[in-house]
Structure 1
């Protein structure tokens, strides 16, 4: 049995109630949604999965593969008129978004990032549906746990890999040290590493993100 806070890597294919694949860790859909193919890092109980799947994988073990079906309450929730909002055209200006029907947008709010689909644009007003596209539906997941990560240093490495960073890591006396290559997104990657490590590994007391030495050039 998996417990809250455990690190696991999973592969999955997810289907809507009509049998259409809407998410996967394989192929082009994985590249589009997750920026990579291959197993994804999940920390049990940290809301990185839909409610039903987060609960279901707790009964699984490394190497096990199974299939689950979840109702709307354990998937993406019920559709609600409360999540359909009328916004002003000006509200989108600060996001550099030109509203048009069918466009999927994300907006940063005090409650975090929310996603919506623009339904109509008329008279300077924009109707946005913030219901998840799969709300109100049953969904089906084929899942395999490829690895249960238990060693602290390997957990740190998994955090780096999850956000697409090839990095060296070390853990000594409660201090986690990451070394990553310097590029235009260095500060953004650093911030994500700090947030994920603090959230997923409370036993780490200090986090350092350093610039890695550039690879030596061959003569």
Structure 2
């Protein structure tokens, strides 16, 4: 059956500007392009078509296609990261920076991320546009499969928003219970996107009426003590006796 808005699908893709790849779900491509991140999770991503989980131009190309279809789509700036907005380029006093600003440095000012494009005297020119604003993008994509199972849909949303695969959960009698790894509150990406994840679970999974999140700490495994004979032997070797 053709892909429709509201369907969950597993998708692989590679995005580029001209000959330069800027994003990919392929580990092999990432290595070939010199952009491999050992901390990243490569492989198909689960998205809900129509929810803007990928850029609009790529998402629109999926509607009407079938599982297994692949192809290339050219995405204009207005359906990608928008046109370059001149008003988003601001002059800021260098005294507001923690360190001396340099051209190309990425900075955060007033909860907005930008890049320093010029430094003149005691002022720095900062561009707060997305780095790909104003660019026409090309995506090669493949629709790997539809995702019908609600648990797999939730698992896909967790990975999509947080990049994590170590969050366990179960759904029972309308309650989704998440077992969170220790120290997850120090994960900035989790803290930023947790609310969106919960909102979309309620929006897309009509049978879920409650979400419970528990931070779980497990007793560490006891360290094995070496046998007494081994301790005596080691001490003898150290003393030369």
Q: Which of the five TM-score ranges fits, normalised by the shorter chain?
A: 0.7 to 0.9
Pair 9,92 (structure 1): closer, same or farther in 2 beyond 3 Å: farther
Corresponding residue number in structure 1 for 2:138: 140
Residue 166 of structure 2 is aligned to residue 172 of structure 1: no
The number of equivalent residue pairs is: 210
Q: Provide the alpha-carbon RMSD of the alignment.
A: 3.0
- SS for the counterpart of 2:37 is helix
Q: In structure 1, what is the equivalent of residue 150 of structure 2?
A: 152
Provide the C-alpha distance between the structure 2 equivalents of 1:136 and 1:59, rounded to a whole number of angstroms.
28
Q: 1:200 to 1:128 in 2, by over 3 A?
A: farther
Q: How does 1:1-219 map to 2 (within 5 A)?
A: 1-16=2-17, 18-27=18-27, 28=30, 29=35, 31=37, 35-93=40-98, 98-107=100-109, 109=111, 114-162=112-160, 163-183=163-183, 185=185, 189=190, 192-202=193-203, 203=206, 204-212=208-216, 214=218, 217=221
Which has the larger share of strand? Answer: 1
Look up the SS of the partner of 1:31 in the other structure: coil
Unaligned runs of 5+ in 1: none
Compare CA radii of gyration and give the structure with the larger one.
2
SS for the counterpart of 1:59 is: coil
TM-score for the superposition, normalised by structure 1: 0.79
Which whole-Å CA distance do the structure 2 matches of 1:199 and 1:108 have between them? Answer: 28
CA contact (8 A) 1:159 1:193 kept: no
Instruction: Compute the TM-score of the two structures, normalised by the length of structure 2.
Output: 0.72
- Give the ranges of 4+ consecutive aligned residues of structure 1 lying more than 6 Å apart after TM superposition: none
The answer for unaligned runs of 5 or more in structure 2 is 225-241
